[in-house]
Amino acid sequence: MGAAGGRGALLGALLGVALVTAATPEPPVHSLAEVLFCQPDMPSLGLAVTFDEEQLFWFDAPMLRWQPRLPDFPAWPEATEPPSELVHDTTLCQDVLEFLTAYTSKYMPMAEAKGIPVANVFLKRPLELGRPNTLVCMVGNIFPPAVTIGWQRDGVPVTDGVTDTTYTPVEDLGFVRFSYLEVTPQAGDVYSCIVTRERDNTSVLTYWVPQDPVPSDVLATALCGAAMALGILLALVGLALLVATRRHRHG
């Protein structure tokens, strides 16, 4: 009995450990990436540091300095990758690009990989007609990172109140870019975000029209009225069936 009881207790303890281990969630996996690209299009150079595909910093090559993605973000540590080291990396990237371009065009012609940009337009805050807000155009599936983003209101180009971000690399070897437009939505407005690839002169348009949401009290009243009307209709149908059944029996 003692040995059996000891084995039972041991098995119970092992089972408990196994259950605790199985129930313990896996620790989250995060990704910190630094992506450098160079290309014949503009921008000719790009460098960004991302965490879980969210851009933290980007390198301003003409100014030779790191820029935070958000204005209130801490400054880039000066001792980490000084600009002199990055200039060497960017020069090497351009030299490799020039060599590969000359080699493939002469000995091994290759088709250029391109992605068709996909744009989504949405408001930064809940819609209130007549209240200032911000329209966001999120453009994904960008490759190569060489597109321009423009805005129109009712078919007329808009440039005031526009802010564009740099390219953010993502895991599928593409890029994402955002454009922001300060707006005051009015009923009947038609906004459009236009994404253009300059090399082949193709554009993708995405429209956004303000739709004033129905107030909750109006929606509740409408639903109550619809439910009441449906109840009355079902009662009338039931009464008609009852009358028809009685007539059938008397006949």
Q: Encode pLDDT of 1-44 as tens digits.
A: 444 444 344 434 434 444 444 455 677 788 888 898 888 888 88
8 A C-beta contact, residue 121 and residue 135: yes
| Euclidean distance between CA atoms 69 and 213, whole angstroms | 33
Question: Minimal CA–CA distance to 50: which of 148, 165, 135?
Answer: 165
Higher pLDDT, 216 or 205: 205
| Euclidean distance between CA atoms 68 and 54, whole angstroms | 12
pLDDT at 245: 64
8 A C-beta contact, residue 117 and residue 140: yes
pLDDT (tens digit, 9 = 90+) per residue, 135-180? 999 999 999 999 999 999 999 999 999 999 999 999 878 999 999 9
| Euclidean distance between CA atoms 199 and 114, whole angstroms | 11
pLDDT at 185: 94
For the whole prediction, is pTM greater than 0.85? Answer: no
Domains located in the chain, CATH noted: 32-106 (3.10.320.10), 118-208 (2.60.40.10)
| Euclidean distance between CA atoms 83 and 89, whole angstroms | 10
